[in-house]
Each structure stands twice: as structure tokens, then as C-alpha cells.
Amino acid sequence: MIKILFNAALLATFGFSYGQETAPAYHVSGVQHVNAEVYQLVYNPTSKLVYVAGPKAGFNREAENFIYVLDGATLAVVDSISVGKSLPFGIALNNQTQVLYVGHSLQQSVSAIDLNTGRRQLIKSDREKAKIREIVVDETRNRVYVSDHGVPSIWVIDGASNAITNYLECPEGYILGLNTDPERGTVYTTDGSTMEGNILAFDADTHGPKGKFKTWSYCPLNIAIDQRRNRLFVSQSNDNNITVVDGDTGEIINKVYMGYDTSPIGLVYDAERDVLFTANRNKKEVAVVDAKTYAVTERIATNGLPNTLSADPATGAVYVTNKQAGRGGEKVPNGNTVQKIEKR
């Protein structure tokens, strides 16, 4: 009897009670299958449409490929944009000019698509061994950056002419993630070539190096930026954490452990709500991180292999691509889908 009374008192003291759980704040409000091997997506706040890049199954270079256009409210497929025989993987948008940039990693090129006129311009690199991954846009400078891990570098594309004007060379690097802070004039990329897990910083105006920050996690991937507080969030897929770095000093502020075998990849930071979303591939979930406390507050099951995230800054809705299983892997229920995640 004494033991029972003690346990009851202890539970009351810490505010616990059996059968009582915190109600989830987020839910998957929509799912849309796409007839392609989906990779990346981007939300367009001007048109309220979602653009999804993904080559046809089998990566057939003789087949016609498309960017799929989804209604941001319902996720219904409302249109498609042909990119010819160029296989689409990465994607980014200049919201000011309404030009969509699509990366063709296997063909060393980028398409610039004017969404107002439909005109498509192919930007080809002369680097035959190039393997591009991420594309980001600096709307202030009307400039586009492309990460290349085949020939370790960052392509610099002028948005007015849609021509490659420079390469930011990263000798012996393994260049993967990419982002830019236009206000501070800095371009960041992740280098997975060593166990230091470096973030390389370049000056957006001079194109010279500005710094090298060590994350001390192997193979850093994507980068999200809190511009107001100058924080970099870096997904560390192999080490199952998000490393938070001071963008000025390179000091590690925190390492947010996502859990065993989660494999975080895609990131998006919601500045208005101070929340970070992470696509945890192996756990088939999108996790929500309170960017004030660095606590993981919620995990939203996708039942697919989440890859890329894009957010609607006005509503806080988040869009996620779910890849199909890779080579030899079992298919997942929500493979090759786009999902919309919203607050309840």
C-alpha cells in the first residue's frame, strides 16, 4: 500500500497520468502520387503552386521528362512542363523573376524556365564529369548557384543572361549541400570529403573564400539558414543529427540528435514561427524542431522516404517529396508522392 501511494504521489508531482498524451499539432493534410521518380520540389508563393522535379522511371534519356505542377491547396496535378530529354532532379525558384531552375545532374546542365512565358533556356556546362546536386537562388543579386560534386565546385549563373559566369572551385572537396544568405553576401556549401564535415563559405560579390567551419560530423548534407540570428542548420545523415552553427564564427551552437538510424536529409526553416522541419529518410518521417529550445517536438509519419521540403511562408504549410525505395529496396506505401503537412 505504501509503495502504491508513493508512486501515485510521484506521478502527481511531475504532472504525469496514465492514458494522457499531448495531442499532435501537425498532420498530413494531403497526398498526391506523381508518375515519376520524384526528387526535389519547390513552392511558389506568388502562384501558390508546387513544382516537382523527377525523371521518368528507369532514367531513360530518350524519354520526354516533365516538371509536375501541383495546386498548393489541394495537391491536384494541374499542369506539367516539358524539359525534353533532360532528366530533372534539383529545382529552385527565383520568386522575383518567376524563373524556375531545374538541374539535370546526368547531363551537366540546368534549365531556366520562365513561368510567365513558358520559354526554356538550357544552360550547359563544359565540364563533362560534373554531377550537380543542389540549386539555390540569390534573388537580391539575381544569381543562381549550383553545387557540383563531380568537379568539386559551385557554378555561378547570372539570372539576367542565364549564362555560367564563374565557378567557385573547391579542390578535392565532395560538394553536396548549398544555400545563400543574400543579406550577408555569403554562399555556403557542405564538403563531405573529410571527417571534419566542413562548411565552406564564399563571398557572394568577390567569389573569394570567407571561411571554413567544422561540424565534426561525417558527410554533412543540406543547409537551412536562420538569417535573422545568423544560424546555419546542417543535416548530418550519417550521424543522425542536425548541427547548428554560428554563421559568423563557425562555432557549433548545438547538435540536435534525431534518434538512431533516422538519417535526416532535407531541411526547411520557418522563420516566422521559428521552427525547423527535417526529412528523416530512414524513419519515414518529418520531424519538427523548436528552434528556440532545439527540442524535437513532433514526428509526422510519411510512410515514404522523405527527401526534400519546401514551405509556404504565409501559412506555415510544408510540402515534402517521398522517394521510392532505392536499388534492391522494398517499395514503400507512399513512394513517389508529394505530401502536404499543416497545423491542425
Question: What is the SS3 string spanning the chain?
Answer: CHHHHHHHHHHHHCCCCCCCCCCCCEEEEEEEECCCCCCCEEEECCCCEEEEECCCCCCCCCCCCEEEEEECCCCCEEEEEECCCCCCCCEEEECCCCEEEEEEHHHCEEEEEECCCCCEEEEECCCCCCCEEEEEEECCCCEEEEEECCCCEEEEEECCCCEEEEEEECCCCCEEEEEEECCCCEEEEEECCCCCCEEEEEECCCCCEEEEEECCCCCCCCEEEECCCCEEEEEECCCCEEEEEECCCCCEEEEEECCCCCCEEEEEEECCCCEEEEEECCCCEEEEEECCCCEEEEEEECCCEEEEEEECCCCCCEEEEEECCCCCCCCCCCCCEEEEEEEC
Supply the pLDDT for residue 22: 77
The predicted structure's pLDDT at residue 331: 85
pLDDT of residue 80: 97
Specify the pTM: 0.92
Distance CA 76, CA 31 (A): 9
The pLDDT score that the predictor gives to residue 4 is 34
> What are the grid coordinates assigned to 159, written together?
539570372
Query: What was the pLDDT predicted at 8?
Result: 36
Give me the tens of pLDDT residue by residue for the chain, a chain 344 residues long: 333 333 333 333 333 333 335 789 999 999 999 999 999 999 999 999 999 999 998 888 889 999 999 999 999 999 999 999 999 999 999 999 999 999 999 999 999 999 999 999 999 999 999 999 999 999 999 999 999 999 999 999 999 999 999 999 999 999 999 999 999 999 999 999 999 999 999 999 999 999 999 999 988 999 999 999 999 999 999 999 999 999 999 999 999 999 999 999 999 999 999 999 999 999 999 999 999 999 999 999 999 999 999 999 999 999 999 999 866 678 899 999 999 999 99
pLDDT confidence of residue 327: 64
Contact yes or no for 7/18 (Cβ under 8 A): no
Extract the C-alpha cell encoding 245.
552553427
pLDDT number for residue 21: 54
Nearest residue to 159 via CA among 206, 229, 99: 99
Q: What is the number of other CB atoms lying within 10 angstroms of the CB of residue 21?
A: 6
- Single-letter amino acid code for the residue at 219: C
- The closest of 147, 143, 145, 144 to 131, measured between CA atoms, is 147
